[in-house]
């Protein structure tokens, strides 16, 4: 199997070098640039292309790649919403995603909950100006709260196991119920989860059915001062609802590792560039919002697994 990987970061290079030594891999070429229509000829002669989620592979781009003989496209991400799967199927391109253990995102989710509940952002701001006062910094203990988990796949289940250690009351909602989650929490209808939860964390994929799960109507069902956490996909939450919810106090705190329009912003150094995402800039300035740059997955263990599993998929499909 001959494969070419694009958008290869320095932190992936060691694992790619290890994968290149596999007996079932004849050639594995790494390129730093993304795979686009302009450099589509780079896939000529290769059995598979390995990409990440920073480029949208729509029908037009997939058609160009198919014309260059590409038959296997593997994304080194769990999500595949940046690939037009129907178009790929019509063009005869097999598509696969990658995977990694849920621990990295689950750990990060708990961290965001604690950062929001203990008002860490406000503490840092004050320390930077030598303000060590206490008023306004009183937090809440995670174990005293009811936490709702929306989506109980691998990551949601891992979050539930961690929350059990804190002693939180756990409510869960998912299309596929998990025995592991049921052992530490209770499955309830989504409306009940919204009504009873102090903290709500989302772990579902980006699908048309899940778009804007947090909107004006659903936010109205939640408790006043609810804490919302999103380490899944930006499309799950309507940004206008988030802004109005923060402004009026309905949302007590917001922690997000993903953001609508993050492509071209996150994972790059911009220095003195102007960031043309007004909603991102506006939400970031509130004292009770924490926006991280899509890094919940970003541990050495997860990076290595994404690379190795992507190569596994390429070998299987080529």
Q: Which residues are catalytic?
A: 233, 262, 294
- Across the beta sheet with 94-96, the strand order is 27-30, 2-5, 48-51, 72-75, 94-96
Q: At what angle do helices 120-127 and 103-117 cross, to 10 degrees?
A: 60
Residues 72 and 55 sit within 8 Å (Cβ to Cβ): no
- Angle among Cα 311, 317, 318 to the nearest 5 degrees reads 85
- What are 27's strand-pairing partners? 2
The sign of the CA dihedral 25, 29, 30, 34 is negative
- Could you give the CA distance from residue 118 to residue 141 in angstroms, rounded to a whole number? 8
- Could you give the CA distance from residue 197 to residue 1 in angstroms, rounded to a whole number? 50
Closest to 199 (Cα-Cα) out of 230, 220, 178, 176: 230
Coil, strand or helix at 44: coil
Residues 236 and 202 sit within 8 Å (Cβ to Cβ): yes
Beta strands in the chain (DSSP E): 2-5, 27-30, 48-51, 72-75, 94-96, 146-150, 169-173, 186-187, 199-202, 226-230, 251-256, 289-291
- Angle among Cα 49, 53, 56 to the nearest 5 degrees reads 85
């Amino acid at each position: 199997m001959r494969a070419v990987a694009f958008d290869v970061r320095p932190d992936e290079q060691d694992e790619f070098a290890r994968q290149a030594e596999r007996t079932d891999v004849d050639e594995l070429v790494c390129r730093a640039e993304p795979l686009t229509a302009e450099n589509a000829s780079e896939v000529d002669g290769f059995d598979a292309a390995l990409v990440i989620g920073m480029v949208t592979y729509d029908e037009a781009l997939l058609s160009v790649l198919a014309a260059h003989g590409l038959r296997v496209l593997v994304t080194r991400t769990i999500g595949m919403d940046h690939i037009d799967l129907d178009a790929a199927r019509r063009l005869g391109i097999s598509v696969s995603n990658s995977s990694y253990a849920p621990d990295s995102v689950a750990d990060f989710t708990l961290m965001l909950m604690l950062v929001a509940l203990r008002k860490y952002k406000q503490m840092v701001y004050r320390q930077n100006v030598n303000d060590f006062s206490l008023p306004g910094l009183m937090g809440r203990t995670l174990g005293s709260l009811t936490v709702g988990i929306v989506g109980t796949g691998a990551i949601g289940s891992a979050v539930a196991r961690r929350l059990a250690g804190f002693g939180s009351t756990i409510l869960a909602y998912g299309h596929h119920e998990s025995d592991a989650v049921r052992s530490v929490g209770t499955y309830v209808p989504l409306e009940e989860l919204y009504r009873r939860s102090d903290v709500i964390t989302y772990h579902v994929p980006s699908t048309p059915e899940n778009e804007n799960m947090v909107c004006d109507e659903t936010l109205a069902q939640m408790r006043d001062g609810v804490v919302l956490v999103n380490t899944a996909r930006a499309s799950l939450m309507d940004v206008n609802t988030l802004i109005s919810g923060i402004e009026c106090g309905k949302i007590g705190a917001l922690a997000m590792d993903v953001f609508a329009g993050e492509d071209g912003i996150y994972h790059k150094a911009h220095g003195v560039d102007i960031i043309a995402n007004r909603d991102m800039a506006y939400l970031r300035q509130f004292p009770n919002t924490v926006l991280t740059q899509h890094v919940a997955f970003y541990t050495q263990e997860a990076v290595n697994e994404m690379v190795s599993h992507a190569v596994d998929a390429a070998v299987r499909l080529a």
